[in-house]
A and B are shown apart, each in its own frame.
Chain A
Amino acid sequence: MLLNLILFQQEAAPAAAESAKEAAKEGFNAGETIIEHVSNSSHEHPLLHLPHVFGIDFSVTKHVFMMWLVAAILFVVITWTVRRYLKQEQRLPTGLMNGLEAVVEFIRDSIALPNFGAKWVMTWTPLLLTLFFFILGANAIGLIPIFDVVAVLDHFVLHTGPESIFKQIIHGGTTATANFNVTAALATITFIAIIIAGAKAHGFVKHWKNIVPHGLHPLIYIILIPIEIMGMFVRPFALTMRLAANMTGGHIAILAILSFVFLFAEKLGGAAVGMGVGALVSVPMAAAISGLEIIVVLVQAYVFTLLTAVFIGMAIHAHH
């Protein structure tokens, strides 16, 4: 908690440095600052220019970079842990492997097994684990204000040039999953997995016939089929928006409370008022909401995984 407070004061500091320059021109624009801290870095100035392929711009923006970072961290940590465990003479899980095994067993036994049944649990658990760890990692890394520390370091210590990687990398938010394009990609994975699961379990044609229940009066099908097809698309859309909006909302709340420091300093004159408001109101409240945000991070990863499992299970066990 103390580290959180220290890091938050460091998060406020570069915003202060930046807005000190702008205060000379136009004052503190809270809305603009908040939106800039949550959304992606600018598309015209990406971190790494890559060519357009079939009309799609593959340049690396902040969120793409964060996704790669999360993937790299997860890959290194998990592979290293499991390899070290497998090389032992007697397979005793210790330390990180113990925790990893507990999480994997929790997902397999309480999410995968009740929804898939024993026959399909080993087929689909890897997908659930991937989704869970990636979403958890991408959510959690947004809570660590490492790039604000980099900005402070760069501004006060390093003084790199205007085009350096330090100056470019601090724009934009760190939470990749706050971007609804990223969560839409994850929901597309779920959408395709549902179709593949139904096709594997019943055959491709029968999966589509299973979308509506059998043995009803023919006239009902006229309404039922469009509703079920709409449902097929609405569920991944809800997954997308749920994850993106939860992540964005938490960060906006924290940033808005921290903005009080600058708003009060501007309206009531003087940095002392701003610091007083900060110390008494902003930093404690922002720290408390960050604690809540940790819970939300865990819960949203769990809910995405659980709903994916439920939908895939519904496709597998479609013969009511």
Chain B
Amino acid sequence: MGVLHYFGAAIGLGLIVIGAGLGIGKFAAAAAEGIARQPSAADKITGAVNLPLFLLEGVAILAEVFVLLIVLMK
């Protein structure tokens, strides 16, 4: 069963994408709702959303790097 780690990497990658997608989607939804309730605060909301968005994306990319390590280093 020398290919088992490929399965693990593929499943892991899928889970990462689900996790990142859900997280960023929730963020975008909350931001859109906030701007809809108070359009004058649009700038502040965008600024507040920016930082956690990229931190979350960073987490996803970090996890992808580890998955790549699994594939490349047997």
Partner of A245, one of B47, B50, B55, B65: B65
Asked whether B54 lies within 8 Å of A303 as measured between CB atoms, the reply is yes
User: Assuming the A-B contacts A242-B58, A303-B54, are A110 and B64 also in contact, with contact meaning beta carbons closer than 8 angstroms in the complex?
Assistant: no
B4 close to A (CB within 8 Å): no
Min CB–CB distance B34 → chain A (angstroms): 19
Chain B contacts with A in 37-74, Cβ cutoff 8 A: 47, 50-51, 54-55, 57-59, 61-62, 64-65
Choose among A238, A249, A307, A310 the residue that contacts B64 (Cβ–Cβ < 8 A).
A249
In the bound complex, CA of A303 to CA of B58 (Å): 10
Nearest Cβ on chain B to A43's Cβ, whole angstroms: 18
* A101-113 near B? 1/0 per residue, CB < 8 Å: 0000000001000
The DSSP consensus for interface residues of chain B is helix
Number of A-B residue pairs, CB cutoff 8 Å, is 30
Verify A246–B47 contact, CB threshold 8 A: no
Contact in complex: B47, A299 (CB < 8 Å): no
Contact in complex: A245, B54 (CB < 8 Å) = no
A245 touches B51 (CB 8 A): no
Smallest beta-carbon distance B9→chain A, Å = 15
Q: How far is the CB of B36 from chain A (nearest CB, A)?
A: 24
Closest to B61 in A: A245
Q: Is the CB of B61 within 8 A of A299?
A: no
Query: Contacting A241 at CB < 8 Å: which of B50, B55, B65?
Result: B65
Q: Which of B50, B51, B61 contacts A242 (CB under 8 A)?
A: B61
Closest to A244 in B: B65
Whether B61 pairs with A310 at a CB distance below 8 angstroms is no
Q: Nearest Cβ in chain B — how far from A90, in angstroms? A: 33
User: Does A242 lie within 8 Å of B62, measured CB to CB?
Assistant: yes
Are A238's CB and B54's CB within 8 A? Answer: no
Is A306 on the interface with B (CB-CB < 8 A)? Answer: yes
CB < 8 Å neighbour of B61 from A110, A241, A306, A307: A241
| CB-based nearest A residue for B66 | A241
Contact A241 B54 (CB under 8 A): no
- Whether the pair B47, A241 counts as a contact (CB closer than 8 A) is no
For A301-320 the 0/1 string (1 means CB < 8 A from B) is 00100110010000000000
Q: Nearest B residue to A296 by beta-carbon distance? A: B57
Residues of B within 8 A of A238 (CB): 58-59, 62
Closest to A238 in B: B58
User: When chains A and B are docked, how far (Å) is the Cα of A47 from the Cα of B68?
Assistant: 29
- The answer to whether B51 and A310 have CB atoms under 8 Å apart is yes
| Cβ–Cβ contact A241 & B51, under 8 A | no
- Nearest to A310 among chain B residues (CB) is B51
> B58: which A residues are within 8 A, CB to CB?
238, 241-242, 303
Q: Give the distance in Å from the alpha carbon of A303 to the alpha carbon of B52 in the complex.
A: 10
Residue of A nearest to B47 (CB): A110
- Of A242, A299, A306, A310, which is in contact with the most chain B CB atoms at under 10 Å from its CB? A242
Contacts A/B (CB < 8 Å), 20 sampled:
A238-B58, A241-B61, A241-B65, A242-B58, A242-B61, A242-B62, A245-B61, A245-B62, A245-B64, A245-B65, A246-B61, A299-B54, A303-B54, A303-B58, A306-B50, A306-B51, A306-B54, A307-B51, A307-B54, A310-B51
The 8 lowest CB-CB distance pairs between A and B, nearest first, are A242-B58, A245-B61, A303-B54, A245-B65, A241-B62, A241-B65, A238-B58, A242-B61
